[in-house]
A and B are shown apart, each in its own frame.
Chain A
Amino acid sequence: MIETQHLSKLYSRGLYALRDLTINVAKGEFVFLTGPSGAGKSTLLRLLLLQERPSEGEIFVNGHNLATLSRSDIQEYRRGIGFIFQDFKLIPTRTVLENVSFVPEVLGVPAAQQKRRAFQVLKWVGLQHRMNALPQDLSGGEQQRVAIARALASEPVLLLADEPTGNLDPDLSLEIMNLLREVNAGGTTVLVATHDRELIRLVGRRTITLDGGHMVEVA
Chain B
Amino acid sequence: MLLKTDRFGEIRIAQEDIIHFPDGLLGFEELHRYVVVERERKGPIRFLQAVDDGRIAFAVTDPQTFRPDYLPELGEEDRAALQYESDEDLAVLVILTVPQEVREMTANLMAPVIINVKERIGRQVVQGLGEYSTRHRIVDEMERSRRLIRAAGAHRLRTVSLEPTEDTLRQTV
The answer to whether A binds B is: no
